[in-house]
Amino acid sequence: MSEWSDRVAQLLAEPRPLPLVHAGDPVLRQVTQPYDGQLPDEQLVALITAMRETMHEAPGVGLAAPQIGLGLAIAVLEDMFAVPASIAVARRREPLPFRAIINPRYTPVGPRTHSFYEGCLSVPGYQAVVSRAATVRLQGQDETGTELDEEISGWSARIVAHETDHLAGTLYLDRALIRSLTTNENYVRRWADPVPDEARSALQF
């Protein structure tokens, strides 16, 4: 077995959900190694399943391999949460069925950006506003090795960008309007509006 396969076998021996890695761990700051068949196919499938279970349990809408301590370019995405219609419309938050992305990269399509609060399972307890492209072109592979090349818009584009950033050692706070930073408690109490206009005025970001 390869070193990567040994490492994944150790991870998969842990109970679910897998433990999450938090900010301050160097694995979150390293550029991941491209996935190029380092794992047997069945182990890759088992890893993706474990990542999905861990994402569900958190709960979250995405999980990148570094967040379970693994420096490989693999992430999972899924957003099937029910949200109020006002939020779904304002944030263009549409259902995103489960998928795995391997060696993803994204590029903005057009000049439009959206600024909304987001959080990260590796930075628990906080949220901040990040301006992100309204539409991105996603390239890479899926878990079967099939090449991806598609345009993704709205909240799903934010998820793609956030998770792909993780694989390059970038946290959302690196891109955030840092004066918007809020605890989850204050977010729920004050800043959960569909768009963060009041927060922008009051926090001056």
DSSP 56-119: HHTT-SEEEGGGGT--BSEEEEEE-----HHHHHHTT---EEEEEEEEEEEEE-SS-EEEEEE-
172 or 191: CB nearest Zn ion: 172
145 or 171: CB nearest Zn ion: 171
Return the range that interacts with Zn ion (CB under 5 A); candidates 47-55, 105-113, 119-127, 138-146: 119-127
47 or 65: CB nearest Zn ion: 65
Spell out the residues 6+ positions from residue 156 whose beta carbon is closer than 8 angstroms to its own. Answer: 77, 79, 94, 96
102 or 120: CB nearest Zn ion: 120
The Cα–Cα gap between 120 and 162 comes to: 9
| Binds Zn ion by CB under 5 A, chosen from 18, 44, 61, 120 | 120
Q: How far is the CB of 121 from Zn ion (least distance, A)?
A: 6
Q: How far is the CB of 162 from Zn ion (least distance, A)?
A: 6
Q: How far is the CB of 120 from Zn ion (least distance, A)?
A: 3
The Cα–Cα gap between 147 and 140 comes to: 6
Residues contacting Zn ion: total by CB under 5 A: 1
Q: Is 185 considered catalytic here?
A: no
The Cα–Cα gap between 162 and 66 comes to: 13
Residue count (the chain): 205
Residue showing the smallest CB distance to Zn ion in the complex: 120
Binding positions for Zn ion, rule: CB under 5 A: 120
For the annotated catalytic residues, the residue numbers are 163
